[in-house]
Chain A
Amino acid sequence: MELTGAEILVRFLKDEGVRHVFGYPGGAVLHIYDALYKQDKVEHILVRHEQGATHAADGYARATGKPGVALVTSGPGATNAVTGIATAYMDSVPMVVITGQVPTNLIGNDAFQEVDSVGITRPCVKHNFLVKRVEDLAITLKRAFYIATTGRPGPVVVDVPKDITAAKTDYVFPRKVEMRSYKPVTKGHIGQIKRAVKLMLSAERPMIYTGGGVVLGGGSQLLTEMTRLLGFPITNTLMGLGAYPGTDKQFLGMLGMHGTYEANMAMHHCDVLIAIGARFDDRVTGNIEKFCSKAKIIHVDIDPSSISKNVRVDIPIVGTVEQVLRDMLRILKEKKGGPDKAAIKAWWKQIEEWRKTDCLKYETSPEVIKPQFVLENLYKVTRGNAYVTSDVGQHQMWAAQFYKFSKPYRWINSGGLGTMGFGLPAAMGVQIAHPRSTVACVTGEGSIQMCIQELATCLQYGLPIKIITLNNRFLGMVRQWQEFFYEGRYAMSYMESLPDFVKLAESYGHVGMRIEDPADVAPALKEAMAMKKRLVFMDFVTDQTENVYPMIPAGAGLNEMILV
């Protein structure tokens, strides 16, 4: 039977197993919206700004491992989506973004709401397509999902001109897709894995360093099993939190610029570094010249271009984290004799010394709310079971430090691009995916205002997100850098003319709370969490001068931390 392009698109989404699409209508996608209207298998979530659509699809993907889908119109619809696309790209999140386009006969004519979406998004997508014939639509969408979800995942944009959505052709769901130019590897090289295992077992001061790839690659359980079997210390990057239980004794906390003293010191002094699904980002390595200078490095990654990009490695292994860890574990178990027990014991003794620094300690106060105290209580009140999204800045680092994630897919933040405004729309995606779970959005009074309009979406779809705003009347991280490196010249980092967030939340139809007394923090959180059906906007008025510690200044080595 012949269907229109718009009908094909919607049918395809249903056949591909897509249940939710985050989007915003407009001229170029009207046919698609009409096709959506006539069915009930694919639910459309109407956001209030296209950036919100892409972040929500992104959050949905990060909390489920399934691709997120966004639908936006041509021109400004597409350009508004770019920030969300770039955010997903930097963190390798599987996502398909369908952008409307002006009719093919008008492309290149500077038509109304025309923009070269394929051109604009090219540097921040894994791949993108312009569909030029309705006959190509279904297979192009299939390719988009295939590319987005395999190999190193990432966003894929499909630009669909309006006339293509009106044209008709036969529709058959393309079950399979083959591309001669895209064949992602899965299994790692067995010889390399054997070499890696041998090196691991010879280590005296081993360190496991894992990143977002373990979460995305579904390798969390295998990683936990292997780490426990070996008895080695482990650290996670900001993106990798939750891949290994955050409460476990072998876990040294996060590493990097605001990582723990013990994690960074263990990195600096280790003799064998086992990097899995991590990409040696500059916020992790600090000064590259001084990074792990005593270590032989094993690096497991799905993306060959991540290997030896920033740091030269000794044993590269290209493959999916899951496959490689499976092989690694098998080989480890077959080997007679484990790691050097005496050496590992001595190594742990050293690590325990570093741990005694208690680098995350902070001074509590009876008068003013310390931001860390809010996060500690959020962790306690939610028993570590919440999905936590965050925006970008100090609150993000405190959330990473103080919320002990014990499961993957629970910690959702913009690590690579550092996108303020990510937290709330991402939380919407998470809440749509997990309607009965507690979803907390940890944010600041700066970040939350960047996508505040999505409070309306939350009301429309009854999303009971708990917004935890650490309101210090400053762009805290900017202020911190200005204090440290610009002699306290706080240029433009003070947030004046703030709205009354309680009234704002109420005007959007939600519950607003302002918490100013440290004694009220825990009770208020409990009260908010008990409101299972309501979005609660919690405005915590926090200490203005608090800084995130420890900190490695830019250009310093991992052993050169500022503690307090």
Chain B
Amino acid sequence: MENEAGALSRVAGLFSARGYNIESLTVAPTEDASMSRMTLVTRGSEEIIEQITKQLNKLIDVIKLQDLTEGTHIEREMLLIKVRAMNSGREEVMRLTDIFRGSIIDVTEQSFTIEITGASEKLDAFIEALDKELIIETVRSGVTGIARGEKSLQV
């Protein structure tokens, strides 16, 4: 979309005004500073997705729209999670982090902060695997994605 003030709220406004649901939304500038790329995850029947697609295309700030689920694609999300890690518990958290190919990016005497990237389900699984009592804080980036192969979202 055009990297304009208000572009994000046009998209968000459209979803709330028409009763569609935004599951997650990520947006950042692209290599061309006049454009930004938004990845939005939503859910609905074929008819609803068709309407959402058409309504988004109608927004003047939307330059191009691609439904990634129409082809094979890759989805990634990042999780930052702060957990209590003391004594023998530290070993356990480190092992689990390894299994999920995460990395510990901040350490204190009492805690670790772990970064994990992957499909949303993997992040869910990691959180599930941790002892609930240990979790201090979590933050997720929301899903971003790209089509597999040569196909690209070019203007």
Contact = CB atoms under 8 A, between A and B. Distances in A.
Contact of B51 (A119, A122, A130, A305): A305
Secondary structure type dominating chain B contacts: helix
B5 to A, nearest CB: 7
Given A304-B57, A308-B50, A122 B13 contact: yes
Contacts of B58: 303-305
Interface in A166-204: 179-182
Contacts of B33: none
A127 B62 CA distance: 12
A308 B47 contact: yes
A309 interface: yes
A118 B58 CA distance: 18
Interface string A135-166: 00000000000010000000000000000000
Chain A CB within 10 A, most for which of B1, B54, B55, B61: B54
B62 to A, nearest CB: 6
Interface in B13-71: 13, 17, 47, 50-51, 54-55, 57-58, 60-63
B46 to A, nearest CB: 10
B60 A182 contact: yes
Interface in A268-317: 303-305, 307-309, 312
Contacts of B5: 130
Tier of interface size on chain A: 10 to 19
A304 B54 contact: yes
A309 B6 contact: no
A127 B6 CA distance: 11
A338 interface: no
Contacts of B17: 123
Contacts of B1: 181
B61 A309 contact: no
A312 B155 CA distance: 31
A136 to B, nearest CB: 12
A65 to B, nearest CB: 22
Contacts of A179: 60
What band does the interface of chain B fall in when counting residues whose beta carbon is under 8 Å from A?
A: 20 to 34
B10 A181 contact: no
A180 B57 contact: no
B2 interface: yes
Interface in A103-150: 118-119, 122-123, 126-127, 130, 147
A402 to B, nearest CB: 36
B108 interface: no
Given A180-B155, A181-B1, A147 B6 contact: no
A118 B9 CA distance: 11
Contact of B60 (A123, A126, A305): A126
A399 to B, nearest CB: 31
Contacts of B62: 181
Nearest to A309: B51
Interface in A292-351: 303-305, 307-309, 312
A122 to B, nearest CB: 6
Which of A118, A119, A305, A309 is packed against the most chain B CB atoms within 10 Å? A305
B10 A305 contact: no
A20 to B, nearest CB: 26
A303 B55 CA distance: 10
The 9 closest A-B pairs by CB, nearest first: A305-B54, A127-B60, A181-B63, A304-B54, A182-B60, A123-B17, A305-B55, A305-B58, A122-B13
Interface of A: 118-119, 122-123, 126-127, 130, 147, 179-182, 303-305, 307-309, 312
Interface of B: 1-2, 5-6, 9-10, 13, 17, 47, 50-51, 54-55, 57-58, 60-63, 155
Given A127-B60, A182-B60, 8 more contacts: A122-B10, A126-B60, A130-B5, A147-B60, A180-B155, A181-B63, A304-B58, A308-B50
17 contacts: A119-B6, A122-B6, A122-B10, A122-B13, A123-B13, A123-B17, A126-B60, A130-B6, A147-B60, A180-B63, A182-B60, A304-B54, A304-B57, A305-B55, A305-B58, A308-B50, A309-B51
